[in-house]
Amino acid sequence: MKISIIQPDIIWEDKFQNFNKLEHLISLSEKNSDIVILHEMFSTGFTMNTEDLSESPHSDTFDWMVNMSEKGNFGLCGSYIVKEKNHTFNRWIFVTPEKKSWHYNKRHLFTMGHEQQFYTAGSRQLIFKFRGVRIMSAVCYDLRFPVWSRNRNNYDLLINSANWPESKRDIWITLLKARAIENQCYVAASNRIGTDGEHIKYCGDSMIINPRGKIVADAKINEESVISGDISMIELSDFRKKFPVLRDADKFTIRT
């Protein structure tokens, strides 16, 4: 499977300008990509302006994603602001060219940024299968909580869509590698660059990491870019058989 990751500098709270920019960057991705990954709140930036920017579950952003997925024949994913039944979610969506979709509401809201005052936390993990690969979703701050993403040999690829600030760059890279190693999975993570409307700086560091913790593809710091890399289910299976860490993992129950 080939994965492409988009690393943009987006326009604050202007989804239609961001659609145009992202369309251009997506057009630069590998033509045979199976999955294209966008970052957290890719259409607006990490904003608490939910009153003006939230959308119904199947509105402009969802329709745009479906259209891009269908045109490019790839799965497309990222998060945006969704309001449903009087709750507002930082919702990660994955859409396919066949117009099938899955969604995940961000579980760990960033309390230091007051996200919990404007959004409702999710309560369910999302693990699904696309083109032969079992995928688990995560959004930004989820990365700090390893129990939530603990692999019970039920997924192969962890996707994280983030707005991770430059000031915590080393933590970002360290945790991404840790999640790949401890879960014996591939990790693909998308982050933005630039400065947002709250004057927070981002430097990117979007990357794909293999189950041994090796970076197999990464974007240049502070540059808009598109990166691509291949993941192999055969290699992953062989590695897990030769070094069966997951077999010895502790059993536990997540209570929400």
The predicted pLDDT at position 94 comes to 98
Both tokens of residue 16?
A: 């239609």
> Domain for residue 99, yes or no?
yes
User: CA-CA distance, 99 to 118, in Å (whole number)?
Assistant: 30
3-class DSSP state for residue 118? coil
The predicted pLDDT at position 254 comes to 87
pTM: 0.97
CATH number of the structural domain spanning residue 212: 3.60.110.10
* Cβ 3 vs Cβ 27: under 8 Å: no
The predicted pLDDT at position 45 comes to 98
DSSP 127-188: EEEETTEEEEEEEGGGGG-TTTT--SS--SEEEEE----GGGHHHHHHHHHHHHHHHTSEEE
Catalytic residues: 40, 106, 140
> Domain for residue 223, yes or no?
yes
**Number of domains present in the structure of the chain:** 1
User: CA-CA distance, 188 to 218, in Å (whole number)?
Assistant: 10
> Domain for residue 47, yes or no?
yes
The predicted pLDDT at position 248 comes to 92
> Domain for residue 255, yes or no?
no
Q: Which helix (H) or strand (E) element contains residue 52? A: helix 50-53
> Domain for residue 256, yes or no?
no
User: CA-CA distance, 88 to 211, in Å (whole number)?
Assistant: 34
Q: Which domain holds residue 33?
A: 2-248
> Domain for residue 188, yes or no?
yes
Which residue numbers in the chain have pLDDT < 70?
none
3-class DSSP state for residue 37? strand
User: CA-CA distance, 18 to 25, in Å (whole number)?
Assistant: 10
For the stretch 61-116, pLDDT in tens is: 999 999 999 999 999 999 999 999 999 999 999 999 999 999 999 999 999 999 99
User: CA-CA distance, 170 to 8, in Å (whole number)?
Assistant: 20
User: CA-CA distance, 99 to 15, in Å (whole number)?
Assistant: 21
> Domain for residue 123, yes or no?
yes
> Domain for residue 16, yes or no?
yes
76: nearest Cα among 93, 52, 89, 60: 93
The predicted pLDDT at position 184 comes to 98
